Structure 1
Amino acid sequence: MSIDPSRETFESIYAGKPPWEIGKPQRAFVEIADQVTGAVLDVGCGTGENALFFAERGHPVLGIDFLERPVEEARRKAKRRGLHAEFDCRDALTLTELNRQFDSVVDSGLFHVFSDEDRVRYVAGLASVTKPGGRLFLLCFSDEEPGTLGPRRVSEQELRDAFAEGWAVEEVRATRFEIAPDLKDLSFSEGGPKAWFSAMRRQG
């Protein structure tokens, strides 16, 4: 079953146990943590594990998600852990209205939910919130993951094409998503769903 990107679908998923909620940051972001500089925006932050990881490393962090439930949980986590991080309920397709810019932007599993039309809007929004010379770090489902379970698959060429204007694509490499280990009725590749990890630098 493919994931419908609608608000109702994600509200339903968060009412249970989202497969991407693993209680820690995704390994792909831990591996490049030293490349992340300055103020960080986590787009589609969910319950905040990636955002809180960077906050713990001393970065000013804003995490946004279009659902109130995970944003509230992210705020509770920050309080419990004694970490300072902002979390805001905001649609990622309205980034151009944020009126803030960041040195680093992270996207863990959001890019792949958008239609072609919304993808264009989203990339334009990312450009507006990333400082010139700032970097975007993006983790998305790969077209090398077999089947149709989960979100839309993305090819390396689609990634490069989406960021062809105004960005320097520094890296696209194959990796894996980590998912919750106790999920029922979900079957992905052994070792986790195949993914692309990309690093892009904002030009201008």
Structure 2
Amino acid sequence: MRKQRNWNESYRDGDVPWDTGRPSPELQRVIMQHGIQPCRALEVGCGSGTNSVWLAQQGFQVTAIDLAPLAVEQANRKAKKSGVQIRFLSGDICKWDQPMESFGFFFDRGCYHAVRREPGNAYVNVISRLLASGGRGLILAGNAREPHVPGPPVVSEEDIRNELGEKFCILDLQEFRFDEAPGVPEKFLGWSCLVKKLDL
């Protein structure tokens, strides 16, 4: 519960430097360039819901999860104001055991790099279980080639390939710059990782 309180405090205090208030340009690029068609989609670590709203506006049927209940409250208000239907849920994705329909696509801007050290590669196993056969996903994570403090947690290319490779085929892995948030002048270096579920 301590993790939940810490994230709630961030949203309560407005200390959310990762929240740009704009849809991720990298998400938009990947959706368009890789021809990902509207389907049931899951956003992991949805925050205030900006990217979930954008996906819903493109025709995706979106379910979104965040650990912080205050973030989910903000996301619900944003979706209602935007006139889109999204199912927002609060919980820990690494411990997720609620039954849900399978998803054809998932998006993660900054969750994987924060929870990847949970025991048993829990994140990868849960996401794989929730994804339909052949489903794809986009993970945006901090890049260890440019360590920075403050900034997002970072991960190496080797660790990405080793950890995600247990359950996913990596279709595309490239460097990009996170969109800057208000008051954060630096665009941090990240990994853009498009994956496809392996049929094991």
2:189 to 181, 186, 194: 194
Mapped contact 1:96–1:128 kept (Cα < 8 A): no
1:18 to 9, 16, 19: 16
1:7 to 4, 8, 11: 4
User: Where does structure 1 lack aligned partners over 5 or more consecutive residues?
Assistant: none
CA drift at 1:150: 2.8
| Number of residue equivalences | 194
CA drift at 1:57: 0.5
**TM-superposition CA deviations, 1:53-108 (whole Å, max 9, x none):** 11000110011101111111111111111111111112111234343210001101
The match for 2:112 is 111
**TM-superposition CA deviations, 1:144-196 (whole Å, max 9, x none):** 2233323321011111101222311111100011131324xxx7xx4x01000
SS of 1:6's partner is helix
The match for 2:158 is 157
User: Where does structure 2 lack aligned partners over 5 or more consecutive residues?
Assistant: none
Mapped contact 1:39–1:104 kept (Cα < 8 A): yes
RMSD of equivalent CA atoms: 1.8
SS of 1:47's partner is coil
Q: Counterparts of 1:88-99 in structure 2 under 5 Å?
A: 88-99=89-100
Query: Partners of 1:117 and 1:146 in 2: how far apart?
Result: 21
1:32 to 27, 30, 33: 30
Query: Partners of 2:100 and 2:157 in 1: how far apart?
Result: 30
Q: Which has the higher contact order (CA 8 A, sep 6+)?
A: 1
Sequence identity percentage: 28
Q: Which letter does structure 2 place at the counterpart of 1:141?
A: G
SS of 1:30's partner is helix
The match for 2:48 is 47
Mapped contact 2:108–2:140 kept (Cα < 8 A): yes
The match for 1:176 is 177
Mapped contact 2:44–2:93 kept (Cα < 8 A): yes
TM-score by length of structure 1 reads 0.88
Query: Partners of 2:43 and 2:116 in 1: how far apart?
Result: 20
**TM-superposition CA deviations, 1:128-159 (whole Å, max 9, x none):** 01111000110000002233323321011111
CA drift at 1:11: 2.0
The match for 1:138 is 139
Q: Which letter does structure 2 place at the counterpart of 1:8?
A: R
Query: Partners of 1:115 and 1:125 in 2: how far apart?
Result: 12
Q: Which letter does structure 2 place at the counterpart of 1:155?
A: S
